[in-house]
Structure 1
């Protein structure tokens, strides 16, 4: 490819480039349900939300929380077994210490 095939575009100096950006992502934590129009509106960002999308996101979040709860219950069970073993070991060690102290006293 030679330089004669390349076209240089010069920016138009008359119009400044403006980029519109959102000020962050709204998680739509505070929503308002309008019964007459059957719409879901976010009270934080005033955006109209598709009801199906909102319910789908809510259901996915609920499913995630349910699986997380099951996982945490398994973890609690496992840790409680370890805790009981440590308590039993502590009692045994205290009993050994008492026996050793009894044996030392004349």
Structure 2
């Protein structure tokens, strides 16, 4: 059974544990290019994005970079919105797999 994170991508597609998601890259363009693909994993109860590869290839080993999925959203909305599936990420996120 696939677990829903409760969050959606930029196009209202639900994000699930195990999904691969492409996130627009806002820093290190010379290193990664315009986007990075992460796998959504779960650490305890927390959905985490774990690095897979970027537009310029696999720069780091898989999993070398990671962070909570909620960091990709406005944290005030995340905390106070009753239905977090309605909030949109701060940068474009697309479920790719």
Q: Structure 1 length as normaliser, TM-score?
A: 0.23
Q: Which has the higher contact order (CA 8 A, sep 6+)?
A: 2
More strand by share: 2
Q: Structure 2 length as normaliser, TM-score?
A: 0.24
Larger Rg: 1
